[in-house]
Amino acid sequence: MKYLKLIGITCLMLCLFNCSQDEIATEEQSNHSTKPNTSNAKNGLKPIGSGVMMQAFYWDVPAGGTWWNTVSSKVADWSNAGIDAIWVPPASKAQNGPFSMGYDPFDYYDFGEYNQMGSIETRFGSRTELINMVNAAHQNGLSVIADIVLNHNSGGDSEANPYTGGNTWTDFNPMSGNFYRSATDFHANNVHSNDTGAFGGFPDLCHHQNYVQDWLWKNSNSVAKYYRDVIGFDGWRFDYVKGFEPWVVKDWKNEVGGFSVGELWDSNVSLLDSWTSSAEASAFDFACYYKMKDAFMGNNLNALNDNMLWKQNASRAVTFVTNHDTDEIINNKILAYAYILTHEGYPTIFYKDYEEWLNKERMNNLIWIHNNLAGGSTNILHVDNDEYIARRNGYNNSGLVVYINNSNSWQERWIETNWSSTVIKDYTGHSNWEPTTQSGKWVKIQAPPNSYSVWSVK
């Protein structure tokens, strides 16, 4: 979430499926190697984790109700490029109505059909346009990941609160007629006097209340089941999971299934790994993100030698270079994509990077490399300030060797491959070498300045 923007807007206004666990669709092999779990594909959709996820929005996408149509127009091209799932912004009506990016949820069941919070449509469009977008994605084999905000709500009316002795903005009367809320459903209440997950002064949902659990995931008409069965969502990105216990995600997922990933914004690998175990879900690999920032912004590729979630548990790691909250890796960003698209974990690419900021041909090439060559466990072969070389050992494919060069000149190195007396080539086209590996599997490869090469069997 763009926290400062959201807090500012909100404070101003207050003053005035039956899929079974489509987990990352990878199975852990020895040394953290992964492969797609094709058993969880449903209805002709690509197995989540067999390709690459697209974050299909950015902060402040155009207002005016056009975004669902924009996404619909792109899903065929994304699918052809090797995308297997799209992650879309919070889809339901929020306090800031036609201007909200959705992270201040008010009515979980209003997808752009009720005249409340200043508009009928959401910022992204109407309910019909949302369902058309989901259907278009499905027709092109893509799963659709819903962004779910469960920690806090916004836009309630003021009411006397017996637990605080004053008035709080906790009286929620959504026009959909579903999931009315009052002070008892938030912290503080008769269950907890406070909650460490409170965020930005917003009313903070209490997940220990049976009523809240029933409406969020347990009832036949719960938010989770409505999103899955009526709208057609296939999985979940849980916002701000630091605000509530991991069992919430686990219970939600166990009730309705679907791929699940949490936004645990923390670089501590042990914390990320522990959360994924407790939640039985994946997490965005913020440890990897910050190490890439150190490597590419700090011009020291040695940082890539440090620990990351994908090294700890690749089957639970969702890697990324940029998202709607943060875009700090600016120098040689394509090198960061070369890193995540050749390494373990489930990589996510960012809409603006793909559609506007970076070379789409190079991005498509890296997506193809990820989907066709980047299998098996990983061995780091060389790392220093300017150079990084790693080998993927292959799983139902030949594997690859990636050479990232952050210096201003061509670099060459002898490395040990898995291929004996075999002709190899650079699948990026950056080098025209086609060397033959020695009988002992050694070969000399090269990489251009401030760029990369990816080598595999010709």
Summarize pLDDT for 23-49 with one digit per residue, the tens. Answer: 333 333 333 334 444 334 557 899 999
Same domain, 98 and 25: yes
Provide the 8-state DSSP code for 9: H
Output the pLDDT for position 43: 78
Across 229-246, average pLDDT = 97
Same domain, 391 and 306: no
Using the 3D structure, point to which of 372, 395, 428 is the last residue of a domain: 372
Output the pLDDT for position 397: 85
Task: Give the Cα separation of 245 and 249 in Å (integer).
Answer: 8
Provide the 8-state DSSP code for 109: T
User: For position 441, which CATH number holds?
Assistant: 2.60.40.1180
Same domain, 439 and 320: no
Q: Which tokens sit at 49? A: 């984790």
Output the pLDDT for position 267: 97
Confidence band of 15 (pLDDT split at 50, 70, 90) = very low
Same domain, 74 and 169: yes
Q: Which of 275, 319, 456 is nearest to 374 (CA)?
A: 456
- Contact of 420 with 439, CB cutoff 8 Å: yes
Using the 3D structure, point to which of 342, 372, 402 is the last residue of a domain: 372
Same domain, 391 and 362: no
The more confidently predicted of residues 422 and 193 is 422
Task: Give the Cα separation of 257 and 260 in Å (integer).
Answer: 8
Same domain, 327 and 196: yes
Q: What predicted TM-score, i.e. pTM, was given to this entire model?
A: 0.91
Same domain, 350 and 432: no
Q: Which residue has the tokens 């799932």?
A: 85
Same domain, 45 and 151: yes
If 0-12 CB within 10 Å is exposed, 13-18 middle and 19+ buried, where does residue 16 land?
exposed
Task: Give the Cα separation of 59 and 62 in Å (integer).
Answer: 9
Print the domain residue range for 446: 381-457
Give bridge partners of residue 404 from the DSSP assignment: 388, 452
Confidence band of 195 (pLDDT split at 50, 70, 90) = confident
CA distances from 410 to 387, 403, 405, 445, 456 (A): 11, 11, 8, 11, 20
Output the pLDDT for position 196: 67
User: For position 18, which CATH number holds?
Assistant: 3.20.20.80
Q: Which residue has the tokens 């709080």?
A: 168
Residue 435: pLDDT over 90: yes
State the average pLDDT for the chain. 91
Q: Which of 71, 21, 32 is nearest to 395 (CA)?
A: 32
Give bridge partners of residue 416 from the DSSP assignment: 442
Number of compact structural domains in the chain: 2
Q: What is the pLDDT of residues 64-120, one digit of tens each?
A: 999 999 999 999 999 999 999 999 999 999 999 999 999 999 999 999 999 999 999
Same domain, 273 and 387: no
With pLDDT > 70 as the criterion, what percentage of the chain qualifies? 90
Same domain, 341 and 451: no
Across 266-275, average pLDDT = 98
Output the pLDDT for position 396: 82
Same domain, 105 and 227: yes
Across 278-307, average pLDDT = 97
Output the pLDDT for position 198: 67
Residue 421 CB partners (closer than 8 Å, separation 6+): 436, 437, 438, 439
Using the 3D structure, point to which of 350, 372, 394 is the last residue of a domain: 372
Same domain, 364 and 397: no
